[in-house]
């Protein structure tokens, strides 16, 4: 969390103690005694830092214009973007979607036309589609994980395109990024273990502790949103407890934090659970030892998939960060106005 929002240039403070908080701190108490509400009640639109479903766009630099305003559209306020993720020129993991957040709502009647002007081209042809999570956020993902080495270009040619609510685009936006190595992480909650593979070969297996029965971790596949050297984590920020006398109250700043969901899930080291691998140890996060947390933080990048299994909480919503692959392909297409497409070569 800990984002400073300001229009198109949403900033991320990396390498510092962040002002916001996540949902996981030290050792979780098995009973939810004293908690004001369970984190299971949190939806992807309600996060520990009070951000909306578009908060994960904070990992992106602002969208940059590729052309000057044009007078060919009707008069009216302009269509603007808060962000396009990934950032232009970046290298990301195989589960990273393209995520576009509009400043204002796009009407249902205008979404097919908008999708048609959000052109994705790739160095390797791939089948994919856009999916509207809300009237402001639309993401594009391939049917399966990206192939490593793929070059991707997003050309949002919105000049003159209406949003159905009286606004018209005045310029286009263009982002190009590359898909890096196939680094995948799997976490077994009941097995208290985590395995990292690279291009199909095991790199490292580590002991972990995940969420307690009262505060379980999310299941499913979540692409890494970002990572931060330190994050302040408080129970009050995610409605676990604001009562300092509660056994579930915490206010900690913890290191080596790999961010998985907007609702506050991280993989990190915890002073309350320094030797994981044997019990339930958190309020929903995944705990590693100090050496393993340091290694994992330095190894993974934005967009690398982390798949958690064996937790009773269920899968994270697709817009709870970048969990697009928690939706089946038919579910994904159900949120598209223009349907699937096969990309052309960039």
Is 278 a residue of the active site?
Answer: no
Structure-block tokens of residue 122: 């790739």
Whole-angstrom distance, CA of residue 24 vs CA of residue 28: 9
Which DSSP helix (H) or strand (E) runs through 82? strand 81-85
Pick the catalytic residue from 268, 278, 283, 287: 268
Contact 243, 32 (CB under 8 A): no
Distance of CA 123 to the CA centre of its chain: 24
Cα separation, 329 vs 325, in Å, equals: 8
| Strands (DSSP E) found in 10-136 | 11-12, 81-85, 91-92, 98-102, 118-122, 127-132
What is the distance of C-alpha 141 from the center of its chain?
13
Q: Which among 192, 283, 285, 287 is annotated as catalytic?
A: 285
DSSP annotation of 115: H
**Is 24 part of the annotated catalytic residue set?**
no
8 Å CB contact between 220 and 322: no
Compute the distance between CA of residue 177 and CA of residue 86 in angstroms, rounded to an integer: 7
- Estimate the share of the chain in helix, then strand, then coil, as percent rounded to the nearest 5: 10, 35, 55
Residues with a catalytic annotation lie at: 268, 285
């Amino acid at each position: 969390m800990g984002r400073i929002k300001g229009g198109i240039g949403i900033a991320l403070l990396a390498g510092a103690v962040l002002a916001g908080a996540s949902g996981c701190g030290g050792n979780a108490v098995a009973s939810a005694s004293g908690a004001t509400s369970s984190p299971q009640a949190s939806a992807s639109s309600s996060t520990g830092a009070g951000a909306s479903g578009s908060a994960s766009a904070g990992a992106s630099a602002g969208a940059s214009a590729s052309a000057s305003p044009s007078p060919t559209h009707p008069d009216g306020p302009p269509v603007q973007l808060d962000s396009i993720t990934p950032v232009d020129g970046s290298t990301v993991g195989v589960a990273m979607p393209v995520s576009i957040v509009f400043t204002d709502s796009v009407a249902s009647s205008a979404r097919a036309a908008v999708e048609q002007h959000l052109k994705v081209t790739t160095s390797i042809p791939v089948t994919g589609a856009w999916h509207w999570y809300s009237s402001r956020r639309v993401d594009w993902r391939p049917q399966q994980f990206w192939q490593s080495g793929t070059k991707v270009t997003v050309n949002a040619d919105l000049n003159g395109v209406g949003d159905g609510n009286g606004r018209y685009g005045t310029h286009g936006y263009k982002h190009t990024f590359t898909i890096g190595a196939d680094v995948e992480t799997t976490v077994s909650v009941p097995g208290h273990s985590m395995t990292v593979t690279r291009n199909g070969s095991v790199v490292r297996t580590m002991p972990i502790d995940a969420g307690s029965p009262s505060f379980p971790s999310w299941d499913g596949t979540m692409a890494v949103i970002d990572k931060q050297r330190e994050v302040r984590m408080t129970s009050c920020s995610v409605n676990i407890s604001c009562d300092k006398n509660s056994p579930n109250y915490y206010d900690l700043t913890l290191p080596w934090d790999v961010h998985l969901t907007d609702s506050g899930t991280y993989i990190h080291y915890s002073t309350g659970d320094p030797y994981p691998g044997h019990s339930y140890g958190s309020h929903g996060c995944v705990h590693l030892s100090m050496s393993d947390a340091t290694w994992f933080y330095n190894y993974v990048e934005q967009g690398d998939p982390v798949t958690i299994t064996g937790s009773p909480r269920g899968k994270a919503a697709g817009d709870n960060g970048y969990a697009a692959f928690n939706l089946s392909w038919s579910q994904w297409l159900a949120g598209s106005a223009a349907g699937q497409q096969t990309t052309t070569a960039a």
